[in-house]
Amino acid sequence: MKSYYDIVGDGGSDILGQVAAQQERVARSLSGVRTLLAVGSGKGGVGKSTLTMQLACALRELGNAVSILDADLNGPSQARLGALQDRMLIPGENGAPVPMTQTGIGVVSMGSLVPEPRSVEFESVSSGESHTWRATREFSLLRELLACMNWGKLDYLLVDLPPGAERIVQYAELLGPAAAFVLVTVPSDLATGVVARSVDALQKTPNRILGYVENMDGYYCSDCGQLKPLFPAGSQVKLDLPCLGSVPFDPELAALCDRGGSRSEVPAGVSWQPMRRIAEEVHRRVAERVPVPEEKT
Ligand code: ADP
């Protein structure tokens, strides 16, 4: 089988030129964004999407302008979390305006463009070969979403990443060396072991990892009101990263996620104060040092 290196020329597509032009448009479109912050894990189902929206709401409450790009094109959650299903992106003079939640969080998600339960299809050159094209098409679409939206002036653009520990490097490349990362895990060796792979992969990039958030670290017992563990204690896998905070299992939050309501509906929910503290910690770490690639040796 021939590799890319064996192929002479680009068939006249000027593919490298196209990518460079798109990258320039992305840089222009993101010029008003102060902090690009990717929320990833490597593992699925640990609460990345949920905590991305919660973090956005908490950062907003601290006075920041925040939007979210849902980079999980095939399993988008942010449209539902923000109650923004069926919200078309309509091109404007300075790019397409970003749809807003009731609480003022901008959200760009495939979940607004492709209604459930339809799957997101990517046309491929020949049937049965979609896997060959899929990653290329996905990253091209993500670059296009970054380039064509009118992001405006933002303190934070949060990027909700799909699962896949090794692929996290591709998102780091897409977002550039100034993008910082927050990783989400649950306190089990199974999940944290995969997150450790993401850390290993990211440590080979110039990007900064602010730390990790431990989600669903326990639940509040309705009888005694104490925080009780959800997972076995004594985890063997440790992440060599600062812990930004822990969030308990919050049944009100789970219900809110499903119906995509406003955060202010459950201000007393058990997860909200921990989320506020995590947002403060994230904000403090972002402010304490401008992440430039040279800082990592
Ligand atoms: P991921 O993005 O990592 O795949 P999700 O954010 O989609 O995970 O979360 C998976 C499920 O767990 C969702 O139904 C969500 O509502 C629920 N969930 C996540 N974190 C919490 C939490 N702290 N309390 C209650 N439910 C949660």
pLDDT tens digits, 207-229: 999 999 999 999 999 899 899 99
Outline where the chain has alpha helix (H). 15-29, 48-61, 78-81, 110-113, 130-148, 168-175, 189-202, 251-259, 272-288
Closest by CA position to 189, among listed 235, 138, 128 = 235
Q: Which residues line ligand 1 (CB under 6 A)?
A: 41, 44-50, 77, 215-216, 247, 249-250, 253-254, 257, 271
Q: How far is the CA of 45 from the centre of ligand 1 (A)?
A: 6
Q: Which domains does the chain have, with CATH numbers?
A: 14-289 (3.40.50.300)
Q: Whose CA is nearest to atom 17 of ligand 1?
A: 254
Q: Would the pLDDT of 292 be above 70?
A: no
Spatial contact of 263 and 231, defined as CB atoms under 8 Å apart: no
Question: pLDDT tens for residues 52-99?
Answer: 999 999 999 999 999 999 999 999 999 999 999 988 888 888 899 999
Closest by CA position to 183, among listed 212, 216, 217 = 212
Closest by CA position to 75, among listed 130, 38, 114 = 114
Q: Whose CA is nearest to atom 26 of ligand 1?
A: 254
Which tokens go with 11? 């068939």
Spatial contact of 19 and 28, defined as CB atoms under 8 Å apart: no
Q: Whose CA is nearest to atom 16 of ligand 1?
A: 254
Question: pLDDT tens for residues 229-240?
Answer: 999 887 889 999
